[in-house]
Amino acid sequence: MDPKQQALQFYQSLGAADELSRKLLTRAAQVQRGRAAALQRRIDDLDKGGTPKEELAKLEAEMERRKTLAGNYDKLESVIGKAITLRAQLDEQKFK
């Protein structure tokens, strides 16, 4: 196989790895949003039962951390998506 073809395959494998990373980050963000929603339901239930404010505050802080984490995953996924697009454009020019 000629070096240009080997390089093309290598860059394509990098793109495939990046695409897998995007999918994992998307899934991780969904999981964190689900956990945040579950915490919100738990907070609502505990609030009705007269749970101490300290415990509610801990749960609310955990919920906010999970929401922030989901947002960070979304940002990373977006950046990786842009990188994939740029790499594809560069590869197209490089391997014509």
pLDDT at residue 24 above 90?
yes
Q: To the nearest whole number, what is the mean pLDDT of the chain?
A: 91
Taking every pair of Cα atoms in the chain, the longest distance, rounded to a whole number of angstroms, is: 72
| CA separation for the pair 80, 24 (Å, rounded) | 12
Q: How sure is the predictor about 3, in pLDDT bands with cuts at 50, 70 and 90?
A: confident
Q: What pLDDT was estimated at residue 49?
A: 85
Q: Where are the domains of the chain?
A: 18-94
Q: How far apart are CA 84 and CA 80, in angstroms?
A: 6
For residue 95, the SS3 value is: coil
Q: Closest Cα partner for 24 from 74, 66, 63?
A: 74
Percentage of residues in the chain with pLDDT exceeding 90? 61
